[in-house]
Amino acid sequence: MVFSSLTFLFFGFLPITLIAYYLVPKRLKNVVILVSGLVFYAWGEPIYVLAMILSTFIDYTAGRIIAKYDDRPKIRLACLIVSITMNLGLLATFKYLGFIINSVNAWFGLEIPNPNLPLPIGISFFTFQSMSYTIDLYRRNIKVQKNAASFMAFVTLFPQIVAGPIVRYEDIQNEIDERTISEKMVGNGISRFITGLGKKVLIANNIGALWTQVKALDYSTLSAGTAWLGILAFTFQIYFDFSGYSDMAIGLGKMMGFNFPENFDYPYMSKSISEFWRRWHMTLGAWFRSYVYIPLGGNRKGYVRTLINILITWLATGIWHGAAWNYMIWGLYFGVLIVIERIFLGKVLEKIPSFFSWLYTFVLVVFGFVIFDGVAPGTTDFGEMFSQVFTYIGAMFGANGVLMDDLAKRSFVNYGIMFAVCIIGSTDMLKNFAKTIKEKAPKWVMYGYPVIQTAVMLVSVAFITTSTYNPFLYFNF
């Protein structure tokens, strides 16, 4: 079951939770976070909240034992193995078991029953978050959390529980026990939340409707114009959807006294694939660097081994995103591009005009999104997956013999303004403009900012209550 709508969040859960959080004494604030997190998660997945509780209980217990037997390396290692095995086991069971069974059946002509387990919302986020605690504790990078309610509050922090950013315990280890909430912090949090809400509801949902329409068509009939407009729509949809949710989560965190790490830094302005992944889903990149790339040896074991470690890390990144061949190929696709940049292309990109390095990066990212989302759900045949991807990319370059059709022309007219908004909104133009206004304009001009934000909030809520199209893309991961 996916969250039915955002109506529950805005008109029921969020106001009640924040009022309760502000009213209770300091010693009970983590209890409010714990209870609200469980309620929030259970609203979408009533049964599978037990998976989260199991993960939290085992990691908390493992952490206490690791801290208690600090001088017993075998006991500490055993607890770490239990934690990692349990978390990865949950992921493997709920996220990948069905895919593995379907693939084996397709390859070998078998009929192994598929349990078709529903995917718990955000399981990749909360398992990685909880698992990072025991790993960092084993490495002695953090101190043990002895209070069970406080540890569960860390895992069940409802603002980012289902779609990130991935908050590691070391990010908020001080704030989980002792934090202050100032008027300025709450004000900044409200502003950040409204910004994210506007990104998600007013931009991502509207531009995403075009991709939904194009994706449902037969790729072999697409004109070049329709193919480009469709995948560009998804390129902007996924950015504004996910960065919008991250902004909302960071804003809610500030309202509650937490400083969550940033997750996006205008990635579509990047001038290399390596730079793109330093700006996109930054908390996921940091997680894989800390817990996969560096443990593999990072760049400490020679040039060739470094390149192999990059490819392994990116294959794992692709697998994290979903149980399908296209996600694995998508991860390897970026891994190969980063390896190529590491070998020679990175130096070339630094020397050529910045427009061409940007164009190279953006076009390859768009091709990557064809791999990521241009494949029909449930496709288990490796060849069929590649066929769909190449057919779509071929259509982008006119392989179907049509450059512009009526759909492309209508889409350009209907979505032209929205594409312009997406282009401007995905750069730092508005940020720099606001900074200039703040520095040079009269103070009274800044009074218009709350008016604009109030309008964004009201229009967004109106869209939420009237629209039936409210997908949160990263809930699926």
DSSP states along 384-396:
HHHHHHHHHHHHH
Instruction: Pull the structure tokens for residue 203.
Output: 């931009």
For residues 118-132, average pLDDT: 82
Residue reference for tokens 């002695």: 140
Structure tokens at 467: 């629209």
User: Which parts of 234-290 are beta strand (E)?
Assistant: none
What pLDDT digit, counting tens, does each position of 265-286 carry? 999 999 999 999 999 999 999 9
Catalytically active residues are 321
Q: How confident is the model at residue 472 (pLDDT cuts 50, 70, 90)?
A: low
pLDDT of residue 346: 92
**Cβ-based neighbour number of residue 152 at 10 Å:** 25
What is the reported pTM?
0.90
Higher pLDDT, 460 or 59: 59
What does the pLDDT read at residue 283?
92
What is the band of 261 on the pLDDT scale with cuts at 50, 70, 90?
Answer: very high
- Give me the pLDDT at residue 1, please: 38
CB-based contact 418:207 (threshold 8 Å): yes
The answer to whether 115 and 100 are in contact (CB under 8 A) is no
Half-sphere exposure of 405 (CA within 13 A, CB side): 16
Residue 3 confidence class, pLDDT cut points 50, 70, 90 = very low
* pLDDT at res. 2: 40
Please state the rounded mean pLDDT for residues 13-33: 88
* Most confident segment among 110-114, 154-158, 199-203: 199-203
Q: State pLDDT tens for residues 362-391.
A: 999 999 999 999 888 767 778 888 999 999
Terminal Cα-to-Cα distance of the chain (whole angstroms): 14
Q: What is the mean pLDDT of the chain?
A: 88
pLDDT digits (tens, 9 = 90+) for 392-446: 999 999 999 999 999 999 999 999 999 999 999 999 998 888 788 777 777 666 6
Cα–Cα distance between 250 and 245 in angstroms, integer?
9
